[in-house]
Chains A and B, each alone.
Chain A
Amino acid sequence: MNQAEVSKLVSQLKTKVNPRLRKFRSPKGPEGRLDRLRKTVTALVKHERLELNYPRADEARMYAERLISDAIRYGDCHKTTMEMADYWLVEKQCVHKLFKVLVPRYQNSTSSYTRLLSAPKPYPGTGDLRAVLELKGNPYPSLLPDTHTNRNLIHNVLLDEAKKVYRSKKYAEIASKIDAAEGANGVKEQKPDEGVPEAVEKEVEASDKKDSVDEVK
């Protein structure tokens, strides 16, 4: 039976929180565990993308999220938050980065501040799970495959079909126009104007271009 502590207010984390913390056995005991984690958190703030073993990445992620959420909630004039930043960021230039770069970046964010992706295991290797931990909005190219231009996505398939239908409709319309023109000129037995189909072609192309702009990206 515990009662919740009410002396300090904390924001809800937007990532999954593990039910219990990992021990990371170390000769220095629980202090050594925090030392390892703060090395990782400092590196994350400094480099914005890391590849490391999965358990450490998962654990360090929670601490990084907490640090950033506290920095957003309380700002740099709050003594306890500053002490925390001073402890967790071993390299002191990172403290400036936290309050001046990361806080404005994530101020209005509705999702988590970090991203954890599983990385391939090297072969032959120890078989440890690897992971990539990164801050969102980092300047590096994305690690996730670009699925936006995938033609097989259902909305792109549907758009393509719609385009086909539109085209066939337009062609039918043009054909009927030409027929009508021919019918009118049939008595005079004149050849149809060659300028009309060219203009029609252009029109169809233009409408195609419009569609491709609307295409889901």
Chain B
Amino acid sequence: MLPVLTRNSITNVCKGLRRFSSALPKSDTEVSKLKTEKLKREILEFRHAYPEFLPDPKIEFRNKIREKLERNDMVARRTQVDIPEFYVGSILAVTSSDRHSGGKSNRFVGICIYRGGCGLRAEFILRNVIDHQGIEVLYQMYDPSLQKVEVLRLEKRLDDKLYYLRDALPEYSTFDPNMEAELMPEGAPVPVNPIKVKLKPRPWLERWERQNLQGVQDLELPEKFYIKAAQVATPWEKYDLMKEYMRTIPVEEQTEIFSEVQSKLQSLEIDRKKLKRKRVIVKPTKLA
């Protein structure tokens, strides 16, 4: 007896055949697609550690040729001076040559309270309290007088800028200048320090109550300050899609930029890791 083929069964068989025939090449293309997607995502991850490689989003300041030349210069500078990954809230030690005393250098330890600028004009501010005096130093990241940048503690804070440390109690921005670098396990995510800072009583340098700060304890202000802050707040601004667009660089451009410098930056990172392994771990000494 021949099996009776209904229309449904025929179409099912056909579908099965089609699926079978398309299964092999499809899986191959899918795998390669997934691989490229993963690679793209990895490339885009560079934006956190190297934000200064992205150009200024302001359209008047854009110049593709200049940006490319600057990126080349930045990579060239990075082969001379090791500038490790750091974030606002990390504790850094910067050694720079002193132009007022030839042949000598200064080492300054402090917490990074700001990181900004792009291209060769990238900069960061370190803050510390030395002899009961708050000190802040602004370093140009690609300044040739910079000799060495060490990250003593790699961490993030709850805010993008820590300017409020200027009005905080001095204990929150006091760091030992002889601090040892803390070693972190390889491949671990950068920890976020959830510390809440206590501010000194008013008067302040800025109106902190209007800035929606996360890393600050209750400000203990009279009610009228909060009422005024609510009046001048602009809660609709987060919905302005075009303003958001004009503050960033689109994904396509970011991928292009980072795939251009990626191989060089990665080889620099590998060199740094090798150096780290070579370094002898010193027994920690008790600090003053």
Residues of A at the B interface (CB closer than 8 Å) are 1-6, 8-13, 17, 19, 21, 30-31, 34, 62-63, 66-67, 70, 84, 87-88
A11 contacts across to B, CB distance below 8 A: 250-252
Q: How far is the CB of B77 from chain A (nearest CB, A)?
A: 18
Is A12's CB under 8 angstroms from B253's CB?
Answer: yes
A88 contacts across to B, CB distance below 8 A: 239, 241
Q: Known interface pairs A1-B116, A6-B47. Does A17 touch B245 (Cβ–Cβ under 8 Å)?
A: yes
Q: Known interface pairs A4-B249, A62-B242. Does A31 touch B56 (Cβ–Cβ under 8 Å)?
A: no
Mark contacts of B127-161 with chain A using CB atoms, 8 A cut-off: 1 yes-contact digit, 0 otherwise. Answer: 00000000000000000000000000000000000
- Other than A3-B51, A12-B250, give 17 A-B pairs with Cβ distance below 8 A: A1-B121, A2-B118, A2-B247, A4-B56, A8-B244, A8-B248, A9-B44, A11-B251, A12-B253, A17-B246, A19-B59, A19-B60, A31-B236, A63-B242, A66-B241, A67-B241, A87-B239
A70 contacts across to B, CB distance below 8 A: 241
A9 contacts across to B, CB distance below 8 A: 44, 248, 251, 254
Docked Cα-Cα span, A63 to B241, in Å, equals: 6
Docked Cα-Cα span, A19 to B122, in Å, equals: 24
B121 contacts across to A, CB distance below 8 A: 1
Q: How far is the CB of B109 from chain A (nearest CB, A)?
A: 24
Q: How far is the CB of A33 from chain B (nearest CB, A)?
A: 9
Contact-size category for B: 35 or more
Identify whether the interface residues of B are mostly helix, strand, loop, or mixed.
helix
Q: How far is the CB of A209 from chain B (nearest CB, A)?
A: 35
Q: How far is the CB of B29 from chain A (nearest CB, A)?
A: 16
Q: How far is the CB of B68 from chain A (nearest CB, A)?
A: 16
Is A3's CB under 8 angstroms from B52's CB?
Answer: yes
Is A4's CB under 8 angstroms from B118's CB?
Answer: yes
B122 contacts across to A, CB distance below 8 A: 3
Is A4's CB under 8 angstroms from B243's CB?
Answer: no
Is B58's CB under 8 angstroms from A2's CB?
Answer: yes
CB of B110 within 8 Å of the partner chain: no
Query: Which residues, 104 to 130 on B, are CB-close (under 8 Å) to A?
Result: 115-118, 121-122
Q: How far is the CB of A134 from chain B (nearest CB, A)?
A: 20
Query: Which residues, 223 to 260 on B, are CB-close (under 8 Å) to A?
Result: 234, 236-237, 239-254
9 CB < 8 A contacts A-B: A2-B58, A4-B118, A4-B248, A6-B48, A9-B44, A9-B251, A10-B244, A10-B250, A31-B236
Q: How far is the CB of B148 from chain A (nearest CB, A)?
A: 23
Docked Cα-Cα span, A31 to B240, in Å, equals: 10
CB of B55 within 8 Å of the partner chain: yes
Nearest neighbor of A38 in chain B, beta-carbon distance: B239
B265 contacts across to A, CB distance below 8 A: none
Residues of B at the A interface (CB closer than 8 Å) are 44, 47-48, 51-52, 54-60, 115-118, 121-122, 234, 236-237, 239-254
Nearest neighbor of A31 in chain B, beta-carbon distance: B236
Q: Which of A1, A13, A30, A34 contacts B118 (CB 8 A)?
A: A1
A5 contacts across to B, CB distance below 8 A: 57, 244, 247-248
Q: How far is the CB of A12 from chain B (nearest CB, A)?
A: 4
Q: Known interface pairs A1-B117, A12-B250. Does A34 touch B239 (Cβ–Cβ under 8 Å)?
A: yes
Q: Which of B54, B59, B234, B236 contacts A4 (CB 8 A)?
A: B54
| Highest count of chain A CB atoms <10 Å: which of B59, B60, B240 | B240
Is A6's CB under 8 angstroms from B250's CB?
Answer: no
Is B60's CB under 8 angstroms from A21's CB?
Answer: no
Docked Cα-Cα span, A62 to B241, in Å, equals: 9
A10 contacts across to B, CB distance below 8 A: 244-245, 248, 250-251
Docked Cα-Cα span, A37 to B132, in Å, equals: 53
B236 contacts across to A, CB distance below 8 A: 30-31, 34
Is A1's CB under 8 angstroms from B242's CB?
Answer: no
Is B251's CB under 8 angstroms from A6's CB?
Answer: no
Is A12's CB under 8 angstroms from B239's CB?
Answer: no
Docked Cα-Cα span, A1 to B234, in Å, equals: 23
A21 contacts across to B, CB distance below 8 A: 242-243, 246
B51 contacts across to A, CB distance below 8 A: 3-4, 6
Is B116's CB under 8 angstroms from A13's CB?
Answer: no
Q: Known interface pairs A8-B244, A10-B245. Does A3 touch B54 (Cβ–Cβ under 8 Å)?
A: yes
Nearest neighbor of B119 in chain A, beta-carbon distance: A1
